[in-house]
Amino acid sequence: MSNTLLTLCDVHINFPARKNWLGKTTEHVHAINGIDLQIRRGETLGIVGESGCGKSTLAQLLMGMLQPSHGQYIRS
């Protein structure tokens, strides 16, 4: 049995920021840009950082509320 509960490999999360007059997305906000993370059974994780740096987005990803735009999200 593996002790790894969750693995993130080169995960990116982008949100649409601006649309052109046809309604097509032309710009994105890069909320998470290339994070690698491994959480093992029994570990405690603290997330700290400045306002707007992606803490809440990362928490939503870890809880399964968001899917990555790119990269691997492996839950064991």
Per-residue tokens: 48: 């700290």
Whole-structure pTM value: 0.80
Nearest to 15 by CA among 23, 25, 4: 25
The parts of the chain modelled with pLDDT lower than 70 are: 1
Got the DSSP string for 30-59? Answer: EEEEEEEEEEETT--------TTSSHHHHH
Nearest to 55 by CA among 75, 73, 32, 33: 32
Please check whether residue 11 is in contact with residue 75, taking contact to mean a CB–CB distance below 8 angstroms: no
